[in-house]
Amino acid sequence: MFSRLTDFFLPAGFQGSANELRQVRITINTVLLTSAFSFNFLLLCWWAGFWPGVYLMLFNVVTFLVLPFGFRHRLFSAVAFGYIYLTVGYLGVFVNCLYQGGYYAATTSWLVLCPVAGTFLLGRRGGLIFFVVTLLSVGVLWELERRGIHLPNSVPAEHALFWHFDILLGLMLILGVVAMVFDQVNANTLRLLTEKNDLLSLRTHQLEHSIATLKATQQQLVHSENMASLGELTAGIAHEIQNPLNFVNNFSEGSCELLKELPANTFDDLAPPEKARVDELLARLNRNLTLITRHGQRVDSIVRNMLQHAHTGPREPMPTDLNRLAAEYLHLTYSGLRAKDPGLRVDIQTDFDPLVGQVSVVPADLGRVLLNLFNNAIYATAEKQKQFAAGGYQARIRVSSHRRAGQVELRVEDNGCGMPEAVRQKIFQPFFTTKPAGTGTGLGLSLSHDIVVKGHGGQFLVSSREGEGTEFQLLLPG
């Protein structure tokens, strides 16, 4: 209720800091309390028949009630409000001291409240001003007392004891109110300090987080530069290897062809032991050249994949029918593998969402990703098929697409061998492969991951359960 009364005297739309608002509230509360004490002394003066005190306290009560209304209607500022209040209060105390006997009046000690209230309401400057005024006032009262020039005590003798007691009680109450307000100010100050400390801690935490983010970004930039340098180095090495490798492949293939063109009766004139020795050497030479050719082609495949992996040139995306692209590469992959292995049988299931429509991708790059995923899926089911030679297993691959909010999802699922968690965590590493030596380069999934994540800004997720199958999930911006 008292808080509502204080808010009533605040000017409409008052703007100021939290400290200014608190100071204005304290000033209004102090003025209203002083008005209540003045009314109390007005009744006391009326009861004691001290009519000068009645008129003086009546003036104080009216003034201390009018002041808040003047401030509410913006007749003066908050600082002027405090100075007017203290000036009126000081004059009331000083005149009251004169009427009660001068220097030895019971209310003389009240003059001490002026510098205290000045410091409390107006700050150091106001307190210093009223401290000087109080010293001068006490000096004037003392000089008047020393010279015998003072007004006689106007308080009736029969009421003198009660009068002094009531004045002392009023002074104690005022000091108690001042102490409580000071305690409130200290509590508010402590609360503000706590809030500022909490805010400082929060800002410190945010700054530490920003510094950590900057360090991580810096490390990522350094890593990216290192990877770019590594890519350039890889491309350079691959180009250097490519030239001698071409010679090896060409000459080994040419040597194999020359051996085939060698007439069968070339060495018939030799003795049987020598002819057998020559035939054995020719067979070994043919076998060695065949192995050189095979492994040279494998090295050539690795080098070409390394060049593709190190390629950083720009490729322009274009609107592409993702469902059609996936269906084409699925058909090409399966048909190509069936041509090599006529006994291959895989149940191909598709579930393409027509809402997928056109997606902005690089068709050639994404086609390489799909080709690699389909190859791996068919390979996994074929390997599992070998474990069920007696039957009881049907190889199955399911390819599906869906449109989500702002994304297009493409899933490739198989019921093949699956892979353990330790292997799943490494499948995107360059040159890591689960295929037998001589059958895989270990660059397919690494290249696919870079195409989807770095080239298209998407996500490449994989989940697998050993012995049950694997699922690859591509999320592309749509």
Both 280 and 329 in a single domain? no
Both 412 and 291 in a single domain? no
Which of 275, 310, 345 is the C-terminal boundary of a domain?
310
Asked whether residue 178 is assigned to any structural domain, the reply reads no
Q: What is the pLDDT of residue 401?
A: 92
Both 93 and 16 in a single domain? yes
- Domain extent at residue 268: 233-310
Lowest mean pLDDT among 16-30, 226-240, 245-259, 308-322: 226-240
Give yes or no for a contact between 385 and 378, defined as CB atoms under 8 angstroms apart: no
Label each residue of 218-249 as H, E or C.
Answer: HHHHHHHHHHHHHHHHHHHHHHHHHHHHHHHH
Q: Which residue has the tokens 């006689």?
A: 152
Q: What is the pLDDT of residue 24?
A: 82
Q: Pinpoint the alpha helices (H) of 100-159.
A: 113-147
Single out the residue of 328, 371, 326, 378 nearest to residue 352, CA to CA: 326
Q: What is the pLDDT of residue 293?
A: 80
Both 256 and 405 in a single domain? no
Total domains, the chain = 3
Asked whether residue 13 is assigned to any structural domain, the reply reads yes
Which of 99, 124, 155 is the C-terminal boundary of a domain?
155
Both 258 and 305 in a single domain? yes
Q: Flag whether pLDDT at 144 surpasses 90.
A: no
CA gap 154, 159 in Å, rounded? 11
Asked whether residue 187 is assigned to any structural domain, the reply reads no
pLDDT confidence tier of residue 241, bands split at 50, 70 and 90:
confident
CA gap 295, 273 in Å, rounded? 33
Both 277 and 421 in a single domain? no
Q: What is the pLDDT of residue 412?
A: 92
Lowest mean pLDDT among 77-81, 400-404, 412-416: 77-81
Pick the most confident of 44-53, 142-151, 337-346.
337-346
Both 28 and 149 in a single domain? yes
CA gap 231, 311 in Å, rounded? 7
The CATH code of the domain that includes 355 is 3.30.565.10
For residue range 16-46, what is the model confidence (pLDDT) as tens digits? Answer: 777 778 778 888 888 888 888 788 778 877 8
Q: What is the pLDDT of residue 297?
A: 75
CA gap 162, 168 in Å, rounded? 10
Q: What is the pLDDT of residue 7?
A: 79
Both 274 and 139 in a single domain? no
CA gap 97, 187 in Å, rounded? 36
Q: Which residue has the tokens 């209060």?
A: 89
Asked whether residue 225 is assigned to any structural domain, the reply reads no
pLDDT confidence tier of residue 153, bands split at 50, 70 and 90:
low
Both 68 and 8 in a single domain? yes
Mean pLDDT across the stretch 238-261?
Answer: 74
Q: What is the pLDDT of residue 441?
A: 46
Q: Indicate the average pLDDT of the chain.
A: 78
Which of 129, 155, 181 is the C-terminal boundary of a domain?
155
Give yes or no for a contact between 122 and 78, defined as CB atoms under 8 angstroms apart: no
Both 270 and 389 in a single domain? no
Single out the residue of 30, 26, 6, 9 nearest to residue 18, CA to CA: 26
Phi, psi of 337 (to 5 degrees): -70, -35
Asked whether residue 163 is assigned to any structural domain, the reply reads no
Both 326 and 305 in a single domain? no
pLDDT confidence tier of residue 397, bands split at 50, 70 and 90:
very high
